[in-house]
Amino acid sequence: MAKLEKIAKSEQVRESSGKRPIEDLRDWIQRVGELGELIRIEQPVDCVEEMSAITYLLAKQSPSPAVLFEKAKGYENSPIAARLLWNILGPSLRRIALTLEEPPDTPTVELIRRVKDKLKERVPPREVARNQAPCFEHTLTGEEIDLNQLPIPKHWPLDGGRYAGTADAVITRDPDTGYLNVGTYRMMLQGKNQVGLYLSPGKDARLHITRAWQRGEPIDVAAAWGIDPLFMVIGSQTFAKNVSEYEYAGGVKGEPVSVVRGVTTDLLIPANAELVIEGTIRPNSVKSEGPFGEFPGYYGRPEAGCPLVDVTAVHYRSKPILTNALMADYPS
C-alpha cells in the first residue's frame, strides 16, 4: 500500500474512534478508566512488597484492571507525594490496543497488522520549549535531590534493593552517531542521589556506555519513571541501532512525540513525563546491584557491577505517577 494511503487509513481509523492520540499518562489513565479497566486505591499501601503482592494477585484475575495506588504508606507527607501505577497492561488486549493508539476492540491479528504498518512510518520527535513541558513543573538539583522522598518499591522479598523505573524510558545518546536511544531498563536505588542501571549484554545503552568509557569519557543519561505506556512498549523492543525509538513512537501515534531538552544534560526527554531524572555515569563507575525477581518467575543472579548514575536533576509534575512493571511468572 502506498505511504499516503496508509497514513490516510490510520487517520480514518482515528476519526472513527473519535480520539486524538494519547497525550500523556494521565490521559491514558482517564481512557482506561472509561474502559472500566482501572482501580484507584485511596488507602495508603506499602511500596515494600505490598503493592507488588496485590499486583501479582490482580494480574491473575480475569478481567485484570490496572491499579493506581494514590498513597504510598509512609510517604503521605513527602513533598513529592508520588502515586504509583501497576499492572499497566496486564493480560488486557484492550489496554494493549489502546496504548498502541488503536480502538480497544481491534481483533488481535488486525492489531498486529496495523502496528506493523505503523512501525514503518517513522515520525521524528518535536522539541518544545521548557516552559511548555509539563515534566518541568518542579525541578530539584544538587543538594535538593533526595530520592528517598520517592516511594520506590521493593518487589520481592529477596530483591537486592528498591527498584525505580521498571516500566520506564531510559535515554542515552550514541557517542559516535549522536542518535538517541530509548530503552526500558530497571534502576536500583543506591543512595540519595545515585541509582544503578541494569543492562543485559548487547543492550543499546550498554554499548553507548562502553564506547564512552573506552574514550575515558562520562556519559549522560536520563530516565522517565512515569510515562505514557507506549514508551515502555517501544522502549522494550529491539530496533535498528541507528534509529531513535522516539521516531517509532511517533509512527505509532501518527504524530511527533513532544520532547524537551534536559537542564543538566543535553538529552531530549519526554516532555509530558510524570517524573524524570537526569544524571551522568562517570568512567568505569559501577556498583553491584540485584538480585531481582525476574519475568520467568525466579531471581536473576546478583550482577557484579552495574553502571552507577549520579543524579544531577529530578523533574516532576505535581503528584507524579510512577509506572511499575512487576516481573513474575505468567501472565506478567
Closest distance of CB 197 from ligand FMN, Å: 8
CB distance 161 to 151 below 8 Å: no
Closest distance of CB 199 from ligand FMN, Å: 5
**238 touches ligand FMN (CB under 6 A):** yes
**64 touches ligand FMN (CB under 6 A):** no
**198 touches ligand FMN (CB under 6 A):** yes
**52 touches ligand FMN (CB under 6 A):** no
**203 touches ligand FMN (CB under 6 A):** yes
Closest distance of CB 57 from ligand FMN, Å: 19
- Among the residue ranges 94-102, 104-112, 198-206, 209-217, the one whose residues contact ligand FMN (CB under 6 A): 198-206
Q: Which is nearer to ligand FMN, 183 or 307 (CB)?
A: 183
Going by C-beta distance under 8 Å and a sequence separation of 6 or more, which residues neighbour residue 258? 125, 126, 127, 128, 132, 133, 270, 271, 272
Closest distance of CB 207 from ligand FMN, Å: 8
Q: Which is nearer to ligand FMN, 32 or 167 (CB)?
A: 167
Cα–Cα dist 154/268, whole Å: 29
Considering only 189, 267, 273, 325, the residue that binds ligand FMN (CB under 6 A) is: 325
Cα–Cα dist 46/92, whole Å: 25
**200 touches ligand FMN (CB under 6 A):** yes
Q: What are 126's strand-pairing partners? A: 258
- Among the residue ranges 68-76, 125-133, 201-209, 217-225, the one whose residues contact ligand FMN (CB under 6 A): 201-209
Closest distance of CB 278 from ligand FMN, Å: 19
Query: Total number of residues binding ligand FMN (CB under 6 A)?
Result: 18
Question: What would the 3-class secondary structure string for 181-224 be?
Answer: EEECCCEEEEECCEEEECCCCCCHHHHHHHHHHHCCCCEEEEEE
**204 touches ligand FMN (CB under 6 A):** yes
Q: Which is nearer to ligand FMN, 118 or 208 (CB)?
A: 208
**315 touches ligand FMN (CB under 6 A):** no
**199 touches ligand FMN (CB under 6 A):** yes
Which residues in the 92-121 window bind ligand FMN by CB under 6 A?
Answer: none
Cα–Cα dist 26/104, whole Å: 18
Which residues in the 159-178 window bind ligand FMN by CB under 6 A?
Answer: 166-167
Q: 231: which 3 cell numbers?
A: 514508551
> Considering only CA atoms, which of 108, 111, 88 is closest in space to residue 28?
88
58 CB-contact burial (10 Å; exposed 0-12 / middle 13-18 / buried 19+):
middle
- Among the residue ranges 122-130, 138-146, 230-238, 298-306, the one whose residues contact ligand FMN (CB under 6 A): 230-238
In the complex, the residues that contact ligand FMN under the rule CB under 6 A are: 166-167, 181, 183-186, 198-200, 203-205, 235-238, 325
